[in-house]
Amino acid sequence: MRNIMSKVFLFTVTVLLFLASITAASACAFTHYQPELPESLRK
Amino acid sequence: MSYLAFSRHWAGYLSRKTCLPEDQEKVLAYVIEILTLNFLNIFFTLLLAALLGVFPGTAACLVTTVLFRHSAGGAHSNSPWRCAVVTIAIFPMFALLGSFLSQFGQGLVDAISAGAFIAGLAAMILFAPMDSPSAPIISSLRKKKLKIISIAFVFLETFAVLLIRESSWQYAVVVQSCVALTLLWVSFMLTRKGHKLMSLIDKISFKKT
């Protein structure tokens, strides 16, 4: 069970990091509020 | 780096579970905040639209905004809650205005669409992409790409509007006027006056004196 949960967490984090790189490539995050982009995503 | 409490909490929890380094935890907090705020904004905007009976028009406004804000950017509020109020209020309002304008016939809606096309094209050529100090675009190549995408979206959106105009869909005229109004809004948000409007909204105080 613990093994499955750790895989679920790993998958979630991978998907979120992938989505972060996509949002970082755009000029703006759709709405009228832009949180501070982390240094590692700036390009 | 300041993120909302729920983003920091979820990012901390996920990074502890997967043993992520600190810089990756910040990336997680950033993306969790973006996804959650966007989801809530879209959900409540569409909910209000459904209550007001302007769901198709509001959906058209949101699609247009997502396309253009992604590539062209624009003015931002420095508070997520003010941003939510602006987003939730403005797009159903455009949809109401769009359905009101559609009552005056195809001629008026065509004139607004033509005006929006010209204003949109000019704004994309002159100002896009407009980044924010919180998320600066550093690469000049990326800036050039985003400008080209923004200009291409103006043509693509006009082509889509022409297709909708020729269709027999009952909401065709409403959607056409909503798309035109949103393009005008997105273009305005690229200008200095758009930035002034957002900074004015940021100055509104809700504290009791």
Cα B64 to chain center, whole Å? 7
From chain B, the residues in CB contact with A16 under 8 A are 14, 28, 31-32, 35
Residues B27, A40: C-beta atoms closer than 8 Å: yes
Predicted confidence pLDDT, tens digits, chain B (209 residues): 578 888 888 888 888 888 888 888 888 888 898 888 889 989 999 999 999 999 999 999 999 998 888 888 888 877 888 888 888 999 999 999 999 998 898 899 999 999 999 999 999 999 888 877 777 888 888 889 999 999 999 999 999 989 988 888 888 999 999 999 999 999 999 999 988 888 888 887 766 55
B199 or A26, greater pLDDT: B199
Q: Cα(B36)–Cα(B59) distance, rounded to whole angstroms?
A: 19
Question: What is the chain A residue with the closest CA to B3?
Answer: A35
Whole-number Cα distances in Å, B20 to B9, B161, B181:
14, 46, 44
Residue linked to tokens 């949809």: B95
Nearest residue on chain B to A2, alpha-carbon basis: B17
Nearest to B27 among A12, A17, A28 (CB): A17
Q: Is the dihedral of CA A8, A14, A19, A24 positive or negative?
A: positive
Q: How far is CA A40 from the centre of its chain?
A: 12
Here the tokens at position B46 are 């569409």
Contact assignment for B15 to A29 by CB distance below 8 Å:
no
Does the pLDDT at position A43 exceed 80?
A: no
Q: How far is CA A10 from CA B30, B96, B109, in A?
A: 17, 44, 50
Task: Report how many domains make up chain A.
Answer: 1
Percent of chain A whose pLDDT exceeds 70: 84
Q: What is the distance in angstroms between the Cα of B69 and the nearest Cα belonging to chain A?
A: 5
Determine if the pTM surpasses 0.90: no
Query: Mutate which of B31, B37, B63 to disrupt the A interface (most A C-beta within 10 Å)?
Result: B31
Residue B100 identity (one-letter amino acid): F
Judged by CB atoms closer than 8 Å, whether chains meet at B71 and A12 is answered as: no
Phi, psi at B49, each rounded to 5°: -60, -40
**Which pLDDT score is estimated for B75?**
82
CB contact under 8 A, A43 and B142: yes
Residue of A29, A39, A42 with shortest CB distance to B38: A29
What pLDDT, on a 0 to 100 scale, did the predictor assign at position B121? 94
Side-chain-side CA neighbours of B16 within 13 Å: the count stands at: 6
A43 reaches B (C-beta below 8 A): yes
The confidence score (pLDDT) of residue B61 equals 93
Nearest-by-CA chain A residue for B27 = A38
Q: Which of B11, B76, B18 is nearest to A34 (CA)?
A: B76
Domain range for A25: 1-41
